[in-house]
Amino acid sequence: MNIVKDNLIIVIFSVLSALSFVILLAYSSSITTEIKEKEAEIKRAAKLQEDYHGELAEFKNLNNDFSQAKSELNQLAALEKKQTLFWKKILNPRENHMIKWKNKAAESVNADITRLFSSLRARCRAKEIELPSAANKTPTINFGSTSNKPENNFGFGFSSYDGFWPSFNPEEANIIGVQAKIIKEIVEILTQSVTESESLSLVEILREHAGEVDLKYIKNDQLSLGTEQQLLLRTKGKIESLVFKVSIKGQSMHARTFINQLRPPFMLRNISVRRDILIEEPPKRI
């Protein structure tokens, strides 16, 4: 006891030191555990970051791809605009009879065809355009005298329906109605190609049949297409077109004037020219 009393300060210091050591040892153990947990978290975060970098590596060119895609979209938009303007010019909706056509009853189309005959024959007669007649010989009048003008019964592609109208279904009748509108405009353009000094003859107008009934009665007015099919602007389910063949007899200026007046939606896909050569007979020797 005397020793303790004599060395009280040393004992207190020793106890405090031992207590501090124990506390520091416990704290060190706690810190070590916490450090290990932090290290584990850091490793997990590093692994997660590495995974993120791996995923983001796939998108490292995203800005370049976006810029390229934007440029290509602008090019496609410009091309689409040009295509739209091109097809709008080709189809010309404001003057396109196929687009403007409003469906009619078959009887109404029949009335239009009947008026078409008288209207176009009168226009051709006014412009002195010669039309084919049913008979090659000039009809006889009274006592064997002949008329100066043959009977004018040209059908403009609808010869079978001059005074006759079969039972068409509405779809077929309306196709014929559109064809009649187009032929009317073609003939009107043709009448504007006439000159006073040179005569012009309309030889024939051929058209495609509009359906099964029309095929039965169209006869000599039918246009049969062969290799010309590849020349047509026609894609099934996308672009539809009606084809006609117009034959005239006249001077080259008539053809040039007629062609120059054709504007979209009319498209000239084929032209054939034949020159009639007159061979003079040599004088006969007596």
Identify which of 56-70, 105-119, 133-147 has the greatest average pLDDT.
105-119
Residue 120 has pLDDT above 50, yes or no: yes
SS3 of the chain: the string is CHHHHHCHHHHHHHHHHHHHHHHHHHHHHHHHHHHHHHHHHHHHHHHHHHHHHHHHHCCCCHHHHHHHHHHHHHHHHHHHHHHHHHHHHHHCHHHCHHHHCCCCCHHHHHHHHHHHHHHHHHHHHHCCEECCCCCCCCCEECCCEECCCCCCCCCCCCHHHCCCCCCCCHHHHHHHHHHHHHHHHHHHHHHCCCCCCCCEEEEEEEECCCCHHHHHHCHHHECCCCHHHHHCCCECCCECCCCEEEEEECCHHHHHHHHHHCCCCCCCCCCCCCCCCCCCCCCCCC
Residue 51 has pLDDT above 60, yes or no: yes
Residue 1 has pLDDT above 60, yes or no: no
Tell me the residue length of the chain: 286
Residue 275 has pLDDT above 90, yes or no: no
Considering the chain, what is the average pLDDT of its residues?
A: 83
Please report, for the chain, the start and end positions of each structural domain, with discontinuous segments joined by +. Answer: 2-57, 92-261
- Residues 36-51: what's their mean pLDDT? 85
Any idea which of 117-121, 162-166, 186-190, 237-241 has the lowest mean pLDDT? 237-241
Any idea which of 134-138, 151-155, 218-222 has the lowest mean pLDDT? 134-138
pLDDT confidence of residue 170? 93
Residue 135 has pLDDT above 70, yes or no: no
pLDDT confidence of residue 57? 77
Q: How far is CA 53 from the centre of its chain?
A: 49
More confident residue, 268 or 283: 268
pLDDT confidence of residue 87? 86
- State percent of the chain over pLDDT 70: 87
CA distance to 79, 134, 162, per residue, from 128 (Å): 48, 18, 22
Any idea which of 166-170, 176-180, 235-239, 250-254 has the lowest mean pLDDT? 235-239
- Residues 57-66: what's their mean pLDDT? 80
- Residues 266-277: what's their mean pLDDT? 84
- Residues 240-266: what's their mean pLDDT? 91
Closest CA to 157 of 120, 122, 130: 120
pLDDT confidence of residue 278? 57
- Residue 184 near residue 116 (C-beta atoms within 8 A): yes
What pLDDT, in 10s, does the model give residues 138-169? 333 343 444 444 456 899 999 999 999 999 99
Instruction: Copy the structure tokens of residue 123.
Output: 């226009």
pTM: predicted TM-score of the whole model, two decimal places: 0.68
- Residue 258 near residue 248 (C-beta atoms within 8 A): yes
